[in-house]
Amino acid sequence: MGFIPMIGTVLQLLGRLALIVWSGFACYGAAQGVHGLQDRPAIAVGVLTPVLALSLFVMVWGGGFIAVWALFAGGLHTLPEYFPR
């Protein structure tokens, strides 16, 4: 799918979004069925788990992006030059 320039990218993003939504429902079901939580705490688990996972992914990806960018830019000591006050 990644070989078709825009369609492949859109389909991959939609697939990942569907996976995130499904994992939220799975966490909700497990919180209710296995752990015996009531509706509100189970919904919180179903919503917060994918949100935390996405946040961690964004932080790691962003950190990796900054690290690679720093290698090409000449090191982290040059980073303040790109963001003047």
What distance in Å separates the CA atoms of residue 11 and residue 17, rounded to the nearest whole number?
Answer: 10
For the ranges 11-25, 35-49, 64-78, the lowest mean pLDDT is seen at 64-78
Rounded Cα distance, 24 and 45, in Å: 8
Render pLDDT for 9-33 as a digit per residue (tens, 0 to 9): 788 888 888 998 899 999 999 999 9
- Decide if pLDDT at 65 tops 60: yes
Segments making up each domain of the chain, as ranges? 5-82
pTM: 0.60
In the Cβ-directed half-sphere of 10, how many Cα atoms lie within 13 Å?
Answer: 4
Average pLDDT, the chain: 83
Q: Tell me which of 52 and 6 has the higher pLDDT.
A: 52
* Residue pair 12/2 in contact by the 8 Å Cβ criterion: yes
More confident residue, 81 or 47: 47
Q: Which residues of 1-37 are buried (b: 16+ CB within 10 A; e: fewer)?
A: eeeeeeeeeeeeeeeeeeeeeeebeebbeebbeeeeb
For the chain, give the percent of residues with pLDDT over 70. Answer: 88
